[in-house]
Structure 1
């Protein structure tokens, strides 16, 4: 399992002789990412450090160093392909990212998502410290329906962006107190929220965007179906969208927030009725534990959906 390989690794150039530091930094950063050109302002005595958290699925590197410019050339893209994305989150100082004729100047409270599958340039001064997260390409390309590089300033000071920022920095603060599965779970959520943030809320009626909203809404409802307080409004608020946007996305798929929530709760109940671990739980307790207001509400909805009552399904599973 990927989570079992969770590692935290630290490195600093101050442990080396000053003449070795630039070469070490070049090899060190390349081992975490891919082939790059390193343009040191003062290679002699260069100072830098990293703290890396990673599993087989995700990587977050907290890094700081003297002034430097990183360049990914077209030749390096061809010779050492890397299609994965990087999410850059400054903690202090300023970084400048250039890619695909776009430039993003990043300071604390902003972020950028860019691809290493195309040439780019990244530079910063000696006051900078930042996090850089590696995200598999499919987790960005599929939800956002794009395969081109993206270099854009993202607002991480309010709303959904602030939540994403807090999750990235929170993983760093808790690096020695979390497990691999926890790290992967939080990273998965960061990627989902980052996709929402990158898409924004300014295209509520675009079919491709609505399909993405629908997909993320379904995943959210499946995870939170047992919450008795779950509604279309609370779901939209947590996801950072308007209720109208959620309704439009589900309407395109032929359902509503209420119907989707009920369907997922019924699926959960049916699954639990057939699970020996729940065989001693009463139907009433099972109803409450699965988000229904009462046993009668569950029985009515269950019979309409499956044509039989919950007890019959449990009985079938015992025969």
Structure 2
């Protein structure tokens, strides 16, 4: 093995590791059952090196290195979720090595998609939220992120747009929106340009922000009467 490479060891299979020069290495231990890959695939990659030129290796190695540096600060649900992501990425690397890489099918891909969706919802107000930012936050490539969304009704970019517009429409129906103004509502949910927001809302729902506010005002007045 060389610098930056990684390998798997299975304590149920006898092995010997010889280190003939000064070294430092990072070791992770996890239950075999938590790495959801085929037994035959795991045996095939045990005691083999994943080189830096392997497809997903750089992604997985980078994530594990960062996880190792911050491990002492992680606890509870956060640590568990990050560990689960590490195993998902490792399983993806094994699938790729064994020629079984089909991201839309495995349970781990579905679990990763749930976490991506959760991040989208929690960061809708960030104007920098984008496919590239989401991919970087989950230590995956933008290409793989788009693969995850192939079975979804909307692409990742359109999902972000649709969720932002839905939240804006909800706020525009509230009396407070008339006081805050359309531009403030748009900014709160990640739209930098009010004019772009108005066009997008009309395209999505067939009405402008002012139309929505007018309808909400008339509805509220009718309810009060």
Tell me the TM-score normalized by structure 2. Answer: 0.61
Provide the C-alpha distance between the structure 1 equivalents of 2:173 and 2:70, rounded to a whole number of angstroms: 36
Question: Tell me, which stretches of 5 or more residues in structure 1 are unaligned?
Answer: 1-95, 119-139, 147-151, 172-182
Q: Post-superposition shift, 1:235?
A: 1.1
Moved over 4 A (4+): 274-279
Look up the match of 1:190: 79
Look up the match of 1:240: 139
Q: Post-superposition shift, 1:108?
A: 7.4
User: In structure 2, which of residues 184, 197, 204 is the aligned counterpart of residue 305 of structure 1?
Assistant: 204
User: Do the aligned residues in 2 keep the contact of 1:213 with 1:246 (CA within 8 Å)?
Assistant: no
Change (3 A) 1:196 1:301: same
Question: Tell me, which stretches of 5 or more residues in structure 2 are unaligned?
Answer: 1-8, 16-23, 39-45, 47-56, 221-225
Matched, 1:259 2:158: yes
Change (3 A) 1:108 1:145: closer
Look up the match of 2:168: 269
Change (3 A) 1:254 1:109: same
Look up the match of 2:123: 224
Q: Post-superposition shift, 1:241?
A: 0.5
Q: CA RMSD in A?
A: 3.9
Q: Post-superposition shift, 1:289?
A: 2.2
Q: How does 1:8-87 map to 2 (within 5 A)?
A: none
Larger relative CO (CA 8 A, sep 6+): 1 or 2? 2
Change (3 A) 1:205 1:169: same
Which string of whole-angstrom CA distances, capped at 9 and with x for unpartnered residues, describes residues 138-185 of structure 1?
Answer: xx79xx799xxxxx9xx9x952223434554225xxxxxxxxxxx7xx
Q: Post-superposition shift, 1:208?
A: 2.9
More helix by share: 2
Look up the match of 1:161: 64
User: In structure 2, which of residues 16, 20, 27 is the aligned counterpart of residue 110 of structure 1?
Assistant: 27
Change (3 A) 1:196 1:295: same
Which string of whole-angstrom CA distances, capped at 9 and with x for unpartnered residues, describes residues 172-229 of structure 1?
Answer: xxxxxxxxxxx7xxx4443333222102143552333343332222111111121111
Which string of whole-angstrom CA distances, capped at 9 and with x for unpartnered residues, describes residues 103-157 of structure 1?
Answer: 99xx973322338xx9xxxxxxxxxxxxxxxxxxxxx79xx799xxxxx9xx9x9
Provide the C-alpha distance between the structure 2 equivalents of 1:164 and 1:195, rounded to a whole number of angstroms: 12
User: Do the aligned residues in 2 keep the contact of 1:164 with 1:190 (CA within 8 Å)?
Assistant: no
Q: Aligned residue pairs: how many?
A: 176
More strand by share: 1
User: In structure 1, which of residues 269, 280, 286 is the aligned counterpart of residue 179 of structure 2?
Assistant: 280
